[in-house]
Structure 1
Amino acid sequence: MQTLDWIVLAGTLLAIVIYGTLKTRGSKNVEDYLKGGNTSKWWTIGLSVMATQASAITFLSTPGQAFNDGMGFVQFYFGLPIAMVVICMVFIPLYHRLKVYTAYEFLENRFDRKTRTLTAILFLIQRGLAAGITIFAPAIILSAVLGWNLLFLNIIIGFLVIIYTVSGGTKAVNVTQKHQMIVIFTGMIIAFILILNKLPDNITFSSALDIAGASGKMEILDFSFDLNNRYTIWSGLIGGTFLMLAYFGTDQSQVQRYLSGKSVREMQLGLVFNGLLKVPMQFFILLVGVMVFVFYQFNQAPVNFNPTATDVVLNSEYSEAYKAIQKEQNALFIQKKEAIETFVQEKNSTSITAIEANEIKYRELREKGQELIEKAGEAKSIKVESNDKDYVFIHFILNNLPKGLIGLLLAVILSAAMSSTASELNALASTTTIDLYKQQVGEKTEAEMVKASKWFTLIWGIMAIGVACVANLAENLIQLVNIIGSIFYGNVLGIFLLAFFFKFVKANAVFVAAFITQAIVITLFLLNEFEVINLPFLWLNFLGCVIVIAIASVLQSITPTNDTLHSS
């Protein structure tokens, strides 16, 4: 990091925070603070929705996911356009007609207060954890790569977000996210162009795609029904649709983004804009990761991209074994490069076979290196992250980009962290204020409600920083966030679908079914984690939704009730 990088990084982040604070300070009533005064245009809504979902984890983990496993992860998002259409047709008109501040207000109108409270609490649990991870993700990686203090990074990222989120509420989140997305798009496009420019002169973009394809990185669609394959066309279309319906239709961090729209039309256009742009954006980010993979076919890559992990193993009893793997990988790199150069010139089956064989050997060496890192960590009684997917892109940025642009790309990562965390804190505060606090204390003045919302934003911000400080890395951070969501989202979505379409089902049946379903989903997740069953996490969204609808319907059929069906 040079002086110019620090100037670009600090200048970009401070400009966003100051602009968001000054532009939106002084909200006098709850509608202004929690719904942005219902003034947002469709493009602001669309970009804000995208920024909420596209956290720093997206820009750190997704390129590494593609580097290791190719483009198949894009199938995860295939259900998103379908979900956007359903939400535009069903959810938005209803929310707008009822003039709700949170998605969960509707559930009290349809069922009763306890169902509303339970669903709000389920949201607060999973989104509170996710908020901490959106801070922790960039902090842990920047700490490892730059040598910055992890605790300091967690606090500074959280503190910057808290400043403008407390000050301006929903409008501040929407305004800053629009500019953060501009920074993010600009940085990723520049990174992509620079990667292509750093390839050898005889390697065109078309040649780079051919190399990636020969290495198995361009296999986008998987039509198999094999549950061992986490990402297939079916898991994306079925599990992904249910996940996206739950996330965009019932998660307050997203609902609050489009409830700020001027009209139903502006809200719908904003979500359609997100649906049309999100899949291409994820495809592009994955393609950046694939191009980083091609870059390292012509430039020596480390055995492990996490510098902290490498330092641990080199300072352990496994140092010589690790150095032997490094030496073997260096020799293999020369073979791989020769095979790829032959492939570019001839493109025959022999050269393709050589590339595939070398790629298999290369992955085996990396796995051996990861095993040594894990053993070294155990020997030193410290936790070391051996899986380096999340470190691939940041390693490339720091070691290959020119001065100034390193600061810009780090600003991209931290802007994404701030935008996603701000949305989550804003949603957590609004849900706590409207769905829990207001129900306990009764009617308060506008000024008192705004004050309470600001205090809850601050409290949730501090709690998110706390979660970040105690979090542990998973196999891949982007998967960790989606796993947390999948444990809760299916159940919540099922509750909403019961409210929309199953008019005969009443409050008590739904409330009991929700408890039973959540216990079943958590049990299924744990059985999968302990390898008792094989159930990819995306299917938890579908199963949770179906199970709660089924149980509630059965309970309603067999149990007499005096519940009154509320009008929706």
Structure 2
Amino acid sequence: MRPSDWIVLLGTLGFIVIYGIWKTRGSKDIEGYLKGDNSMKWWTIGLSVMATQASAITFLSTPGQAYEDGMRFVQFYFGLPIAMVIISITVIPVFYRLNVYTAYEYLENRFDLKTRSLAAFLFLVQRGLAAGITIYAPAIILSTILGWRLNLTSIVIGLVVIIYTVSGGTKAVSVTQRQQMAVMIGGMLIAGYMVVHYLPEGISMGDAVAVAGKMGRMNIVDFSFNWNDRYNFWSGITGGLFLALSYFGTDQSQVARYLTGRSVTESRLGLLFNGLLKIPMQFMILFIGVMVFVFYQFNQPPAFFNSAARDSVFATSYAGEMQQLEAQHEAVFNQKQEAVQELVTALRSADDATIATAQAEVVRLQQASKEISSEVKGLVAKAIPGAETKDTDYVFISFVTNYLPAGLVGLLLAVILSAAMSSTASELNALASTTVIDIYKRSVKPDASDSHYLSASRWYTVAWGVIAILFATFATRQDNLIQAVNIIGSLFYGTILGIFLVAFYFKYIKGHAVFMAALLAEAVVLYCHYFTDIAFLWFNVIGCGCVILFGLVLQTVLNQRQPVR
């Protein structure tokens, strides 16, 4: 990090935080703190919704996902626009008519207190865990740059976010997210331009895309059906739809964003705005990751992208083995670099036979490179017990810090940290509001003053921040972070969505039946996760379907047991 990078980074983040606190000063009651006085316009709502979902994981882990697995992750979002339309038509008018603080208040009106409390509890569990991962993601950056231990970095970032969230409440979260989204989108566009600019002379954008395609990275849409495949068209348009319905329709971190709208129309426009822009934004971020992959076909990539862990190995007795593996990695890269150049030449000649031969050689050498990388990861695990050996999340930040010019490194770090601030602030704010409104105010202390609940909201924000920090210390055990946070959500979202769909559309089912059905459905989802190979996106469909099915059966049984009068 050069001085200009620190100036850009601290200046950008400092301006956003100070502006947000200044613009939202004076929240004196629970209405202003949790609902922002219902003053937000549609474009602020739309940007806030996008910024809440676009955590640091999005900008840190998604390019790494594309580097490792190609573009197919974009299919995860195919059901999202449909979900935005459904929520705009059905959910938003109900929430506005009831004037709720949280989504779960509606469930008591429709069913009973225990069903409301169960849905709130499931949300608190999954979002509390996910908040830990969103704190951990930017901790990767600072630990790599500053040489700090990951756990210490997680604590520092978590404390900063707690202070930021406690000070401003929901309105501060929404207002600052406009600036954060501008920084995020602008920074990633610049990064995309720079990675293409750094390709070797004579290698055009078309060449880069063609090479990526032949190396299996332009796999945008896959129509084959496979229960065990995480990302294909069918899992995205169904499992992704159900996940989006649950996330945007029942997750308080998102519901709180559009409950701040001036009217039903403003909230609807905000959600539809998100539905139109989300897939193009994710496509852009994944494509940048693919271009980084192509860049590293012409420039020597590290054998292990986590430079801090790599350097630690060289301080142990395994340094010699690491040196040998890196030499092998470099030798394979030199061969692959020549093979990729031959593939480019073959693609330009449009000779199918030559293309097939060159492609086969590139794929063979790519596999050899991956095998050496696996050996390196095994050596890291052996040399540093407990060290993180999955380095996919370090791919993009490694490119940024090693290749981008002074100033732009600071800007890209501001992008990732802005995303961390926005999403984590939303999560902590939602966790606090759900705890206070659905648990504390409803079942623990129902007759306290408004100022007492405002104070409780601030203290619960602190408490959830501490819990998230504690979970962040275990996040090193997760796979790719963007997948980890979606897996956690999928374990609970289907059940929560099922409860809400029953509430909206199955008037036959009452409180006792849906409560028991939700418990059984959650048990089925957890069984599928731990004892089957079903891809996690389908958990959203399974959980939701089981709540509806079990609810219908249980309600029928309960009706039959009622005495005839």
TM-score bracket relative to the smaller structure = over 0.9
Post-superposition offset of 1:213:
1.2
Q: Aligned to 1:472, what secondary structure does the other structure show?
A: helix
Q: Is the 8 A contact 2:340 2:362 kept in 1?
A: no
Aligned partner of 1:156: which letter? V
Separation of aligned partners in 1, 2:360 and 2:216 = 8
Q: What residue number does 2:85 align with?
A: 85
Check 1:346–1:367 CA distance in 2 against 1; reply closer, same or farther (3 A cut). Answer: closer
Q: What residue number does 1:437 align with?
A: 440
Q: What residue number does 2:419 align with?
A: 416
Q: Is the 8 A contact 1:312 1:373 kept in 2?
A: no
Q: Deviations over 1:531-567 (max 9, x none)?
A: xx3201111010000011111110000113999xxxx
Q: Deviations over 1:214-236 (max 9, x none)?
A: 21111111111123422100010
Separation of aligned partners in 1, 2:59 and 2:191 = 11
Q: What residue number does 1:530 align with?
A: none
User: Which of 509, 518, 526 is 2:522 aligned to?
Assistant: 518
Q: Does 1:30 align with 2:30?
A: yes
Separation of aligned partners in 2, 1:278 and 1:525 = 28
Separation of aligned partners in 2, 1:386 and 1:404 = 30
Post-superposition offset of 1:192:
0.7
Name the stretch that deviates more: 219-228 or 84-93. 219-228
Q: Does 1:383 align with 2:382?
A: no
Q: Which aligned pairs between 1:93-108 and structure 2 lie closer than 5 A?
A: 93-108=93-108
Q: Does 1:552 align with 2:551?
A: yes
Separation of aligned partners in 2, 1:469 and 1:131 = 12
Q: Which aligned pairs between 1:92-491 and structure 2 lie closer than 5 A?
A: 92-315=92-315, 319-347=319-347, 348-349=351-352, 350-378=354-382, 380=384, 382-439=385-442, 440-491=444-495
Q: Is the 8 A contact 2:107 2:503 kept in 1?
A: yes
Separation of aligned partners in 2, 1:186 and 1:376 = 36
Q: Which aligned pairs between 1:34-45 and structure 2 lie closer than 5 A?
A: 34-45=34-45
Separation of aligned partners in 1, 2:250 and 2:274 = 16
Aligned partner of 2:199: which letter? L
Name the stretch that deviates more: 156-165 or 533-542. 156-165
Q: What residue number does 2:5 align with?
A: 5
Check 1:217–1:304 CA distance in 2 against 1; reply closer, same or farther (3 A cut). Answer: same
Separation of aligned partners in 1, 2:476 and 2:560 = 46
Post-superposition offset of 1:523:
1.7
Q: Aligned to 2:406, what secondary structure does the other structure show?
A: coil
Post-superposition offset of 1:457:
1.3
Number of residue pairs matched? 557
Separation of aligned partners in 2, 1:48 and 1:520 = 34
Post-superposition offset of 1:312:
4.6
Aligned partner of 1:293: which letter? F
Q: Is the 8 A contact 2:313 2:322 kept in 1?
A: yes
Q: Deviations over 1:22-78 (max 9, x none)?
A: 211221222211111111011111110011111001111110111111111100110
Separation of aligned partners in 2, 1:33 and 1:410 = 29
Post-superposition offset of 1:315:
4.9
Q: Aligned to 1:297, what secondary structure does the other structure show?
A: helix
Q: Which runs of 5+ in 1 are unaligned?
A: 528-532, 564-568
Q: Aligned to 1:560, what secondary structure does the other structure show?
A: helix
User: Which of 491, 502, 506 is 1:498 aligned to?
Assistant: 502
Name the stretch that deviates more: 43-52 or 194-203. 194-203
Post-superposition offset of 1:145:
4.8
Q: Aligned to 2:297, what secondary structure does the other structure show?
A: coil
Aligned partner of 1:125: which letter? V
Check 1:207–1:368 CA distance in 2 against 1; reply closer, same or farther (3 A cut). Answer: closer
Aligned partner of 2:330: which letter? N
Check 1:165–1:379 CA distance in 2 against 1; reply closer, same or farther (3 A cut). Answer: closer
Separation of aligned partners in 2, 1:21 and 1:163 = 11
Post-superposition offset of 1:202:
1.2
Q: Return the TM-score normalized by structure 2.
A: 0.95
Aligned partner of 1:247: which letter? Y
Separation of aligned partners in 1, 2:157 and 2:316 = 33
Q: Is the 8 A contact 2:322 2:376 kept in 1?
A: yes
Separation of aligned partners in 2, 1:389 and 1:222 = 23
Separation of aligned partners in 2, 1:369 and 1:335 = 16
Q: Which runs of 5+ in 2 are unaligned?
A: none
Name the stretch that deviates more: 121-130 or 470-479. 470-479
Aligned partner of 1:465: which letter? I
Post-superposition offset of 1:322:
4.0
Check 1:499–1:431 CA distance in 2 against 1; reply closer, same or farther (3 A cut). Answer: same
Separation of aligned partners in 1, 2:239 and 2:545 = 11
Post-superposition offset of 1:144:
3.4
Q: Aligned to 1:278, what secondary structure does the other structure show?
A: helix
Aligned partner of 2:556: which letter? S
Q: Is the 8 A contact 1:24 1:171 kept in 2?
A: yes
Separation of aligned partners in 1, 2:390 and 2:226 = 24
Name the stretch that deviates more: 64-73 or 206-215. 206-215
Name the stretch that deviates more: 319-328 or 270-279. 319-328
Post-superposition offset of 1:387:
2.1
Q: Deviations over 1:451-504 (max 9, x none)?
A: 221121122122222222343332200000000000000000000001001101
Q: Aligned to 1:304, what secondary structure does the other structure show?
A: coil
Q: What residue number does 1:566 align with?
A: none
Name the stretch that deviates more: 270-279 or 289-298. 289-298
Post-superposition offset of 1:313:
4.5
Q: Deviations over 1:173-231 (max 9, x none)?
A: 00111111111111101111111111122122122111111211111111111234221
Identity over aligned pairs, percent:
58
Q: Return the TM-score normalized by structure 1.
A: 0.94
